Each structure stands twice: as C-alpha cells, then as structure tokens.
C-alpha cells in the first residue's frame, strides 16, 4: 500500500563537481529510453530496487516510503552502499556485493572452477579473495600424470591473467587477495612472489599467520611446516627468520601484508559453518569459502553540527543502513549457487564509515592523539551497538540468520540476530569521492595539490576545511596555498598557527605507531576487519616496519598492510608532485 499523497524523492542530491565526474564515468546507466540517467535517477533506481525487498517480509509493506527513506540517506550523502550496489541495483546484472571468498581445491578441476567463478565475479564488479593453502607444494607428485605439481604461486598467475583479461567490463578493475598459511611448505616462494614488480599485479598478498608462529617469533624458536593435505609435519623453519623476510619484503614494496588467521577464527561468529581462510582484496572482510558480503559506509562529515556530533541523527542513519544492507542480501543476484546459499546462511553485512579525517578536523582533534583514538572507539562502539539493536529488531520480524542457533550470539545473550556480522571498515576508495569525504579511516594524504599539469595557470586544489580555517583565522594568501600544494602539508609553514598545523596533520607526518593505534581502536568494535594502510616515510627502516607489525599484533588488529613512500613502481599518489 503506497502513500499516494506523499511527494517522493524530493531533495536534490548534494553532489560536488568531482562526484558528478566520477558518477558519469562509471556509474550512470542508460535508461530504457536510451537517455543516460542523472545522479538523482541513480539514487532513485537504487532506493526503489533495495526497498522492494520489504515485500518479501510483509505483503502490505509501504515500499515507496521505504524507498524514499533510502533515497534521502543516499542523496544527502549520509550513507552510501558499496560500488556494485550503486552500479547494478535495478539493472539486469543485479550483483550487489563487493566482497567474495572462493575456495581453491587441490585439483586441476578445483583450481579452474575457481578461476571460472572469479571471472564471473569480476565481470560484475566484485573482488575475490582466496587461500591457496590447500594446494600441494611445488614439485609434489601428481598421481594421474606421474608428473610434479607447479605449486600455489604458479597457479596464482593463472588467476592473475584471468583478472587482467576481464577488467570488469570496463567498470572496475578486478582485485584479488591471495593468502598462504605461514606453515605451508612454499611459504618462502610466496613471500618473494611480488618481488618482481611486474608479477601478480592484480593481487594483494597476505601471509596467514598462526598463534604458534607468533609465539615462536617471540621466543626465537622453530615452528612446524605442515603438509597441506593431512597437516603432518614435513619440516621446520626458524620463525624469526621467516618473519624478518616478510617484514623486509613489505618494506621493499608493500607486499606481502599479514593477516592473523587464528585471531580471525577466534572471532568467527559462525564456527560451526567452517573456518575462515581468507579475506576480500583489501583485507577488511574475512569470509568463509563461498561467502559474500555487501558493504555500506556512513559519511561522518554529515553528523558534525556546530562542532558536536549529532548522535540521534547518527543512530537514525545506522538503523536505516542496517535495514538497507539486509535488504541488499535479498535483492542480490549471486553469481553462483554456492555463494547464494552460503551468504544467506549467515547474512553478513559490513557497515562502516568514511570521512573520519574530516570529522577530526571539524572537531579540532589531531589524528595522532589519544583524544582521536578514544573518539574512534566511541563512534565505532555506537555504530556497532545501534547496528546490532537494529539487526535484532529485524530478526524479530524477518527471522534470525539461519545458522544463528549454532553461532556465538546465543552465548552472548542474544535471543535473535538478523546478521552474523554488522560492521566492517572498507577503504571507500570510490564512494568517498562520490560523498566528497576523506576515505575510510585514513588521515589526509595531502592538504593541497595541483590538479592539472597541462594548465599553465595551475590553481592548487585545497582541502575545503583548511581553506575555511585559513579565511576564518585570517592567514589565507594565494602564495601560501601554492606553498601548501608544493609541500603537500603545513608542517613547516610558519604562517599557519601551530595548533592548526597540529590538527591538519597528514599521513606522513603521523608516526606509524598512531596509524596502528587508530586501526586497533576501530577494530575493537568492528565485527569484521578494518581497511588501513600504515604509511611510512621513504627513510623508514626495516626495524620500524617490524615494530609496527608487532604493535598490530599486540593491540589486537586482524592484520596489517604497510606502505613505504616511493617503494612501489609507478606510485599513484605523490605528495607535492603535480598530478
Ligand atoms: N573492490 C574491487 N575492485 C576495485 C575496488 C574495490 O574488487 O577496484 C572490492 C574489494 O573487495 C574491496 C571492496 O571492493 O575490498 C571495497 O572497496 P572500496 O570500499 O574501495 O569500494 P567502493 O565501494 O568505494 O568502490
């Protein structure tokens, strides 16, 4: 029953020029009339499509009103779902998730089945993660051919080539995560796999770290290497030496990262459904084999009013976002049957945030401060608690996720829960541009840069909050903005008051310790994991990286990804350089 008196989809989307450019490039679709949709049409298309799910639970649902509510959240840029939902909801594809994990079995059939599934997922804009830990090591026997196996690392290049060829129909580049357990016989080859920077370019690599391994690193002892098939001891290695090589290679070029596999499984909400062996490509979403997850992010910028957080409004957005993401599971067209089944057993959703750096400057809090990490905990706890309340409420009407009884929730005192996980912190690489917010929980990379090389009259693009501050505190000048764009940060610009320089701190001025502390603060209240890059200056030492790894472990992070400035070929962003 729709409310015909009500005017729907009234508000115009609050988009910046930049956002419109991104939308035009990849998100706006051709309508049946042949016309290209407007950004407003896009949000209406997504809102209507996702609201349709309401009818599955209530044949009298007021779908139009729900669609209007969803529309208003998106058009006001308070909440955006992950890119595949924006691109595909209400279109023939209807594949709405960003994250998938596929099993790779130890047989040629199994491996190429996974390659085929990867192709289908990449075509629709999703990213895939795999554990290659089940594959027999290099030079192991192959019964049927009496030959030898080429090993996990060699098979990874098949997946890499498939990704390269598909390029996701031009919409989005395919991305993969490759994981190998640290106790796999081929672990050293895996650690070196991306040393040649032209190899495995569509993969992020992470070593799957066990608790036993970390203990051995701390005690300086050997750990067991196990056969993948029956997990029998086949050798041992010095843990510290392996650890040092991982750290050195990460220092050299960013890969491999590490994920704490045992820790991830200790917080597995549905242990009866299987073990988690991999995450999605950017590391924020551990999943069971054949599980998928759809993400969505709240733009914190929209909840700062008069220098304060509007908690009531944030609560309202959390509620709507959880309902939206649960509806996405219903409306999703899964690329293969196994994913459909597995995803609907646990109904995981990943609600996160973007605009964290923006929120901090709006509240005059430096990123590298205890005040900031405490606020991170407060904000994330609020989102998780409110998200859970909403998931319980949905469960009362729609039913709990089917594997609820055997999940961790009954023992935690929950009588019902709609979703096995609620929170994930995504990188928000594209949706943060659409929202005009800083990405995920990352600090600012630079406060200003030159946009166009070709333009002689190059005008620096300055962080809007800094610009506002510059006018307000009367230190604005054109020459200062040019200096800011040259340096990328305000660190040495004495024209800027010191307290303002402290608040507008950028990535490379922030000690790696603070990057890790921030990740850990958010992880504390995140069911899944947190996407974060710990940035190092070019001059950082291998020991600095090692310290960050240990700190991430000690503070309860689920993994760590580092990047040392200038260490990778063709680095995309460069502070102070002309883009
Ligand atoms: N992803 C992908 N290809 C891309 C970017 C992202 O497959 O080019 C997947 C990947 O699983 C990643 C997830 O989408 O971890 C979320 O990325 P992000 O938050 O940056 O996506 P957005 O929704 O902003 O496009």
More confident call, 73 vs 164 = 73
The answer regarding whether domain 95-445 maps to CATH 3.40.605.10 reads no
Determine the average pLDDT of the residues in 3-25: 88
Determine the average pLDDT of the residues in 10-37: 92
pLDDT of 292 over the 70 cut: yes
Cα–Cα distance for residue pair 534/258, rounded to 1 Å: 12
CA of 545 to the centre of ligand 1 (A): 26
Report the 3 state secondary structure along 54-73.
HHHCCCCCCHHHHHHHHHHH
Please give the pLDDT value at position 318. 98
Report the pocket of ligand 1 as residue ranges, CB < 6 Å.
82-83, 98-99, 126-127, 172-173, 175, 280-282, 295, 426-431
> Which of 285, 427, 440, 442 has most ligand 1 atoms within 8 Å of its beta carbon, as the pocket-test mutant?
427
More confident call, 457 vs 275 = 275
Going by alpha carbons, the residue nearest to atom 15 of ligand 1 is 282
282 catalytic residue (yes or no): yes
> Which of 281, 295, 299, 423 has most ligand 1 atoms within 8 Å of its beta carbon, as the pocket-test mutant?
281
Please give the pLDDT value at position 575. 43
284 catalytic residue (yes or no): yes
Residue 205: helix, strand or coil by DSSP? strand
| CA distances, 396 to each of 283, 407, 418 (Å) | 32, 17, 8
Among the ranges given (15-24, 264-273, 508-517), the one the predictor scored with the smallest mean pLDDT: 15-24
Q: What is Dmax (Cα atoms) for the chain?
A: 78
Determine the average pLDDT of the residues in 493-501: 97
pLDDT of 435 over the 60 cut: yes
Question: Are the C-beta atoms of 353 and 301 separated by less than 8 Å?
Answer: no
pLDDT of 138 over the 90 cut: yes
- Assembly ipTM: 0.96
Question: Are the C-beta atoms of 7 and 17 separated by less than 8 Å?
Answer: no
For the segment 310-347, what is each residue's pLDDT rounded down to a tens digit?
999 999 999 999 999 999 999 999 999 999 999 999 99
pLDDT of 573 over the 50 cut: no
219 catalytic residue (yes or no): no
More confident call, 174 vs 249 = 249
Q: In which region does residue 195 sit, left (phi positive, over 0), alpha (psi from -120 to 50) or beta (all else)?
A: alpha
Q: Six-digit token pair at 266?
A: 């200790």
Domain range list for the chain? 12-76, 95-445, 449-564
For the segment 176-213, what is each residue's pLDDT rounded down to a tens digit?
999 999 999 999 999 999 999 899 999 999 999 999 99
Neighbours of 524 (CB within 10 A): 16
Determine the average pLDDT of the residues in 273-297: 98
Residue 170: pLDDT band (50, 70, 90) is low
Cα–Cα distance for residue pair 543/68, rounded to 1 Å: 53
Residue 456: pLDDT band (50, 70, 90) is low
Going by alpha carbons, the residue nearest to atom 21 of ligand 1 is 428
């Amino acid at each position: 029953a729709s409310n015909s008196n009500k005017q729907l989809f009234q508000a115009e989307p609050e988009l910046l020029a930049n956002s419109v450019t991104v939308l035009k490039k990849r998100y706006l679709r051709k309508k049946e009339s042949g016309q290209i949709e407007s950004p407003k049409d896009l949000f209406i298309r997504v809102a209507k499509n996702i609201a349709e799910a309401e009818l599955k639970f209530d044949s009298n649902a007021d779908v139009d009103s729900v669609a209007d509510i969803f529309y208003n959240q998106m058009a006001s840029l308070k909440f955006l779902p992950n890119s595949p939902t924006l691109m595909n909801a209400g279109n023939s594809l209807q594949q709405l998730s960003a994250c998938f994990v596929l099993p790779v079995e130890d047989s040629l059939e199994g491996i190429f089945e996974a390659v085929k599934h990867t192709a289908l997922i990449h075509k629709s804009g999703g990213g895939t993660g795999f554990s290659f830990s089940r594959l027999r090591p290099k030079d192991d026997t192959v019964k049927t051919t009496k030959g030898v196996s080429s090993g996990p690392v060699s098979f990874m290049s098949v997946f890499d080539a498939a990704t390269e060829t598909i390029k996701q129909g031009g919409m989005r580049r395919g991305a993969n995560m490759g994981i190998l357990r640290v106790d796999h016989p081929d672990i050293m080859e895996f650690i070196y796999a991306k040393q040649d920077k032209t190899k495995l370019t569509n993969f992020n690599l992470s070593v799957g770290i066990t608790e036993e391994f970390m203990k051995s690193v701390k005690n300086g002892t050997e750990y067991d290497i196990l056969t993948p098939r029956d997990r029998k001891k086949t050798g041992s290695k010095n843990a510290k030496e392996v650890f040092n090589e991982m750290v050195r290679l990460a220092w050299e070029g960013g890969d491999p990262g590490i994920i704490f596999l045992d820790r991830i499984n200790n917080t597995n909400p549905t242990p009866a459904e299987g073990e988690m062996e991999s995450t999605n490509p950017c590391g924020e979403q551990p999943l069971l084999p054949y599980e998928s997850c759809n993400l969505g992010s709240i733009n914190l910028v929209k909840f700062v009013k008069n220098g304060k957080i509007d908690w009531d409004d944030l609560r309202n957005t959390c509620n709507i976002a959880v309902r939206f993401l649960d509806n996405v599971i219903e409306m999703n067209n899964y690329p293969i049957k196994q994913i459909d089944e597995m995803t609907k057993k646990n109904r995981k959703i990943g609600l996160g945030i973007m605009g964290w750096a923006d929120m901090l400057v709006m509240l005059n809090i430096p990123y590298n401060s205890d005040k900031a990490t405490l606020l991170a905990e407060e904000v994330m706890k609020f989102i998780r608690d409110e998200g859970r309340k909403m998931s319980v409420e949905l469960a009362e009407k729609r039913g709990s996720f089917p594997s609820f009884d055997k999940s961790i929730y009954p023992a935690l005192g929950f009588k019902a829960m709609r979703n096995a996980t609620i929170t994930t912190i995504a990188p928000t690489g594209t949706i943060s541009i659409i929202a005009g917010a800083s990405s995920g929980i990352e600090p600012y990379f630079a406060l200003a840069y030159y946009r166009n090389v070709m333009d002689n009259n190059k005008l620096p693009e300055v962080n809007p909050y800094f610009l506002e501050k510059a006018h307000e505190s009367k230190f604005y000048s054109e020459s200062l903005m040019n200096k800011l764009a040259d340096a990328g940060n305000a660190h040495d610009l004495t024209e800027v008051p010191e307290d303002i320089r402290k608040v507008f701190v950028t990535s490379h001025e922030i000690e790696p310790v603070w990057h890790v502390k921030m990740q850990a603060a958010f992880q504390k209240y995140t069911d899944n994991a947190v996407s974060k890059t710990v940035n190092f200056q070019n001059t950082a030492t291998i020991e600095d990286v090692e310290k960050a790894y240990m700190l991430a472990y000690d503070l309860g992070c689920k993994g760590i990804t580092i990047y040392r400035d200038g260490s990778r070929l063709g680095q995309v962003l460069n502070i102070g350089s002309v883009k």
